[in-house]
């Protein structure tokens, strides 16, 4: 991180009158916003032979407000090397102009000796400063990252798998002026006040019967939080008996969790709600909560449940989660599930679960989309033709001609 300070002093007037002097100051801070991504290549021996200039791309990842991707060329990027080297590059994958950054590309040693092969901008002084990426698709990396004959007899290749790590440090600058106050503002505790109101039971004016259990609540709070409750309690077609409303097709613990979110604005602990520490039980609870959130139009709760389910995708639950995503229009969750199921190492196992039978019966249209994902992976193996930029850097240097010395850790 670099810091540049500016100081301006106002000189006293030459008159004999007494005047107060004043000074101002500001500080410009230039630093990097850092992030990393690990990219594994399973089936290296099958990737060979795809052709010079063809690459396997990682998923995009975000650092410093920009999207990035790693490009691995099993047969090299340059025809002049005759497929003797593997090539590795990092590319700007989102829109951007003159994005300045530091990079580090690492081939991980899988023997446990930590003798990684590292090409890095970090930890050294660069004569011309950070590397500048001009536009989307601009790359930095090495045509001759590693000789293939040496790679295939090294500790970097294990069980036909390679593992790369890319670190990106996006250069950011900002100027700070003097602070004229320092007051610590506490976070909002509105949810805690409403939560304690629910727990106290004071002022409740409506009751719900859910699976034999009674829950008391406040009409105004429910109406403010949920348009469905607002219509049910105050709309022209409101329930005639608003003193005790029966809720069908929902379990009591799920409705209790729904009220918890309405008042506290947070999800309850899923393991505690499930009465189990198993991942399967927490996923099942999250599925029920997502359906309840959609039923009562609680968008934030629905998104929180969707995020929980994305984190917990697994063989034994992904099919039912996919069906749920389709039924409740959770597009991001649906894409995550389809991508997971379509992987060759997952597909057969998922098809043997009871959840897959339910998916076929309840959402047959999803199977067509699943086949498209499977075909895409099978035909292309996430491989596409690489960028062919005139400014592609030569081995061991960037487009500005600066060489970055490799080192071993």
SS3 68: strand
Percent of the chain's residues with pLDDT above 90? 66
Task: Please give the mean pLDDT across all residues of the chain.
Answer: 86
SS3 56: strand
DSSP 8-state symbol, 52: T
Out of 292-306, 343-357, 377-391, pick the least confident: 377-391
The predicted structure's pLDDT at residue 268: 93
Q: What is the pLDDT of residues 162-209, one digit of tens each?
A: 999 999 999 999 888 876 777 888 999 999 999 999 999 999 999 999
Percent of the chain's residues with pLDDT above 70? 87
The band of 18, judged by pLDDT with boundaries at 50, 70 and 90, is low
CATH number of 29-174: 2.60.210.10
Give the mean model confidence (pLDDT) for residues 149-168.
94
Q: How many other C-beta atoms are found inside a 10 Å radius of the C-beta of residue 405? A: 8
Give 86's contacts (C-beta < 8 A, 6+ positions apart).
72, 73, 74, 75, 76, 145, 146, 148, 151
Within 319-393, strands assigned E span: 383-385
Nearest-angstrom CA–CA distance, 9 and 337: 62
Question: How far, in whole angstroms, is CA 41 from its chain's centroid?
Answer: 20
Among residues 177, 148, 151, 168, the alpha carbon closest in space to that of 82 is found at: 148
Residue recorded with tokens 């506290």: 264
**What's the pTM?**
0.56
Domain boundaries, the chain: 29-174, 204-312, 317-385
The band of 391, judged by pLDDT with boundaries at 50, 70 and 90, is very low
The predicted structure's pLDDT at residue 335: 92
Q: What is the pLDDT of residues 56-81, one digit of tens each?
A: 999 999 999 999 999 999 999 988 88
pLDDT at 11 over 50: no
pLDDT at 12 over 70: no
The predicted structure's pLDDT at residue 10: 42
SS3 329: coil
Nearest-angstrom CA–CA distance, 39 and 43: 13
pLDDT at 95 over 80: yes
Nearest-angstrom CA–CA distance, 29 and 175: 6
The band of 378, judged by pLDDT with boundaries at 50, 70 and 90, is low
Give the mean model confidence (pLDDT) for residues 342-356.
92
Give the mean model confidence (pLDDT) for residues 134-155.
92
Within 43-191, strands assigned E span: 54-57, 61-63, 66-73, 85-92, 99-107, 117-120, 131-133, 139-147, 161-176
29-174 with 204-312: one CATH topology? no
pLDDT at 401 over 80: no
Q: What is the pLDDT of residues 20-33, one digit of tens each?
A: 677 888 889 899 99
The predicted structure's pLDDT at residue 178: 77
The band of 379, judged by pLDDT with boundaries at 50, 70 and 90, is low
Question: How far, in whole angstroms, is CA 191 from its chain's centroid?
Answer: 27
DSSP 8-state symbol, 381: T
Tell me the fold of 204-312. Answer: Potassium Channel Kv1.1; Chain A (3.30.710)
Give 270's contacts (C-beta < 8 A, 6+ positions apart).
282, 285, 286, 308
């Amino acid at each position: 991180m670099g810091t540049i300070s500016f100081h301006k002093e106002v000189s006293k007037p030459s008159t004999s009158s007494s005047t107060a002097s004043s000074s101002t100051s500001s500080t410009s801070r230039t630093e990097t916003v850092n992030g990393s991504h690990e990219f594994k290549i399973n089936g290296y021996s099958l990737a060979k032979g795809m052709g010079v200039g063809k690459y396997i791309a990682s998923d995009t990842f975000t650092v410093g407000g920009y999207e990035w991707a790693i490009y691995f060329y099993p047969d090299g990027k340059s025809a002049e090397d005759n497929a003797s080297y593997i090539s590795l590059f990092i590319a700007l994958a989102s829109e951007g102009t003159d994005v300045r950054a530091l990079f580090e590309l690492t081939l991980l040693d899988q023997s446990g000796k930590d003798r990684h092969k590292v090409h890095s901008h970090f930890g050294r002084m660069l004569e011309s400063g950070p590397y500048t990426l001009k536009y989307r698709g601009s790359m930095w990396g090495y045509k001759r990252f590693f000789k293939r004959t040496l790679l295939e007899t090294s500790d970097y290749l294990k069980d036909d798998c390679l593992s790369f790590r890319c670190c990106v440090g996006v250069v950011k600058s900002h100027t700070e002026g003097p602070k004229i106050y320092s007051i610590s503002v506490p976070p909002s505790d509105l949810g805690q006040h409403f939560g304690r109101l629910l727990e106290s039971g004071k002022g409740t004016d409506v009751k719900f019967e859910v699976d034999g259990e009674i829950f008391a609540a406040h009409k105004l709070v429910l109406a403010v939080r949920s348009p469905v409750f607002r219509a049910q309690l105050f709309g022209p077609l409101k329930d005639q008996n608003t003193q005790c409303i029966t809720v069908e097709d929902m379990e009591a613990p799920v409705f209790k969790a729904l009220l918890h979110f309405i008042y506290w604005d947070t999800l309850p602990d899923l393991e505690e709600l499930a009465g189990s520490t198993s991942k399967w039980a927490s996923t099942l609870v999250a599925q029920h909560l997502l359906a309840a959130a959609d039923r009562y139009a609680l968008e934030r709760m629905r998104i929180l449940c969707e995020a929980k389910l994305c984190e917990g995708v697994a063989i034994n639950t992904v099919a039912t989660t996919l069906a749920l995503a389709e039924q409740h229009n959770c597009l991001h969750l649906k894409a995550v599930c389809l991508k997971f199921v379509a992987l060759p190492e997952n597909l057969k196992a998922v098809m043997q679960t009871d959840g897959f039978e339910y998916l076929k019966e309840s959402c047959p249209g999803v199977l067509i989309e699943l086949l498209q994902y499977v075909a895409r992976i099978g035909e292309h193996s996430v491989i596409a033709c690489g960028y062919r930029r005139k400014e592609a850097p030569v081995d061991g240097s960037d487009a500005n001609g600066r060489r970055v010395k490799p080192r071993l850790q």
